[in-house]
Amino acid sequence: MRVCTVQEMRECDRRAVEDYGLSEAILMENAGQAVYEVVKREFDISGSRFAVLCGGGNNGGDGLVVARKLYSLGARVKAYLLTDGYSMRGAARSNFEAVVRADVPLQRIHSAEELCLERSCDVVIDAIFGTGLFRSPEGLYAEVIERVNASNLPVLAVDIPSGVNGDTGATPGVALRATCTVSFGLPKRGNLLPPGRELCGRFYVSHISFPPSLYGAVGSVEISRSIPLPVRPLESHKGSYGDVLFVAGARSYLGAPVLAARAFLKAGGGYARLAVPESLVLILGSHTSEAVMIALQETNEGTAAFSNLELLCQLGERADVLVIGPGLSVNQETQELVRRIVSKVPVPVLIDGDGLTAVAGDPSCVCERTAPTILTPHPGEMARLLHTTVACIEQDRVLAVQEAVRKLGVTVLLKGSSTLIGGTDGPVSLNLTGNPGMATAGCGDVLSGTIAAMAGMGLSPRDAAEVGALIHGAAGDLAAAEKGEDGLIATDVMEFLPAALRRYRESFCRIGGNHTALVNVI
């Protein structure tokens, strides 16, 4: 499913009217009907009192349709207008007049105190702003949103919770917390990017009778695709599933190389070689008995020395994939070693952790590569790569991925609660698996190993990043379902990789977990 910007959906609305003859009134009626269907699914209509909060735009018109439909079936409902109904235009004005003629309980409010929500209703329907707001709510609107949040009542948001930016998911000011949200046509980016994703609650999409041909190539973001994994034939060996060289670890970072290499094997990889400073070989080898250990000369700080360049380039040339960076440290000599290896090795390279800091110091080492490259930054590392701030990255994560791809010519995976994967062709992919329990040290190393395993199975670097993120998040969801999110550690996620792979093979993305955030299409 594609994910669109607000402007792209406005263009779909325009074309639906002008090219397909679907009037604005029909689309608004269908939108209201879709919300009504979710109200029936989520709440007890006969036993609940509903307050429908309506702004002055089309979102408010959608809310008035919902109020009218609830009222027609005998529900106890009251619509609250935050604007003068007679100033509404088009289909919204027509629905205001229909509500007045039908004697639906209606009140124009001038202050938040007039709502009295706790005493007068059980469910709030938010039809205040929708996706058209790109600034912080002010005055009466901000006060009403704050009052709804303070009431702790269940809320159904129409299209997107009021106060959430429809393009970025950002909340420049106060924003409404919804129990569930119904979006129209396609999901908007703000529905699925943090913090908007969390504020949306359970998420529904209704196509409101748009013809499928209308969507075409709408949306430069898509929800992660179902990409089939190669079958494991009877006549196969460890080399059939990837020979991966991991260059990782330092005296102060013993866990990262172990987690990355073991995750590769747990996710279906075949042959792991782990190159670490020589003083760590015996220690790490006892925790990674399935990997072949390679001893590296080391600096006084216990990091990989530059003198390893020729050896690592020779080993890297024989590998299917090189993973470099987890726990390497930011020692200057080691950082230069990373840059030189990356620029010289003619095989696909995945760069993570401290390797990304090395790339940020001289991006030409990846820009000039001819073999595929995957970068897996978190927002802080992405900020260093783009020479900006974390706040700027978080302000528009999609734009950040697109900018990094354009500048560096690589596949970029931006970690987060809604992981984004971008490449030099095709839309940015959005992964919805994973949960807050995975916000713990080492999970990024497990992700690197998982992506390397997908590449080792034969997937392209872009597909490996996309499927690897999905499998990694799904393993976290399975671990959380069994153990809970609190206290989840990276090893727990790694141990569930085989189960996540099995489910992926069996059912392509229908993977359980409390935070999978599957999109419900109605």
The secondary structure element, H or E, covering residue 432 is: none
The DSSP call for residue 422 is E
Spell out the domain ranges in the chain.
2-219, 238-506
Q: Which residues contact 103 (CB under 8 A, 6 or more apart)?
A: none
- Which residues on neighbouring strands pair with residue 204, listed in sequence order? 182, 520
pLDDT of residue 518: 55
**Does the pLDDT of residue 517 top 50, yes or no?**
no
Which pLDDT score, from 0 to 100, does residue 519 have?
Answer: 76
Q: What is the CA radius of gyration of the chain?
A: 26
Mean pLDDT for the stretch of residues 426-437: 94
- Give the CATH fold of the 238-506 domain: UDP-N-acetylmuramoyl-L-alanine:D-glutamate ligase (3.40.1190)
Tokens 């709804």, located at residue = 148
Q: What is the pLDDT of residue 93?
A: 97
- 321 - beta bridge partners? 244
The helix/strand/coil state of 304 is strand
pLDDT at residue number 225: 79
Do residues 63 and 79 lie in contact, with contact meaning Cβ atoms separated by under 8 Å? Answer: yes
What is the SS3 assignment for 185? coil
509 pLDDT above the threshold of 80: no
Question: What is the Cα–Cα distance from 144 to 149, expressed in whole angstroms?
Answer: 9
Q: What is the pLDDT of residues 4-33, one digit of tens each?
A: 999 999 999 999 999 999 999 999 999 999
**E strand or H helix that includes residue 81:** strand 76-81
Q: Which of 80-84, 331-335, 484-488, 504-508 has the lowest mean pLDDT?
A: 504-508
Model confidence pLDDT, tens digit, residues 388-419:
999 999 989 999 999 999 999 999 999 998 99
- Sign of the torsion formed by the C-alpha atoms of 98, 101, 104 and 105: positive
Query: What is the reported pLDDT for 513?
Result: 37
Q: Which residues of 430-468 are buried (b: 16+ CB within 10 A; e: fewer)?
A: bbbbbbebbebebbbbbbbbbbbbbbbbebebbbbbbbb
pLDDT at 254 over 50: yes
CATH no. of 2-219: 3.40.50.10260
Does position 520 have pLDDT exceeding 90, yes or no? no
Are 476 and 438 within 8 A, CB to CB?
yes
What does the pLDDT look like over 111-150, one tens digit per residue?
999 998 878 899 999 999 999 888 999 999 999 999 999 9
Contact 500, 468 (CB under 8 A): no
Per DSSP, what are the bridge partners of residue 431?
419
**pLDDT tens track for 34-76:** 999 999 999 999 889 999 999 999 999 999 999 999 999 999 9
Residue 511 has pLDDT above 60, yes or no: no
At residue 510, the pLDDT reads 43
Residues 85-114: tens digit of each pLDDT: 999 999 999 999 999 999 999 999 999 999
Contact residues for 245 (Cβ-Cβ < 8 A; gap 6+): 273, 275, 312, 315, 316, 319, 321, 322, 323
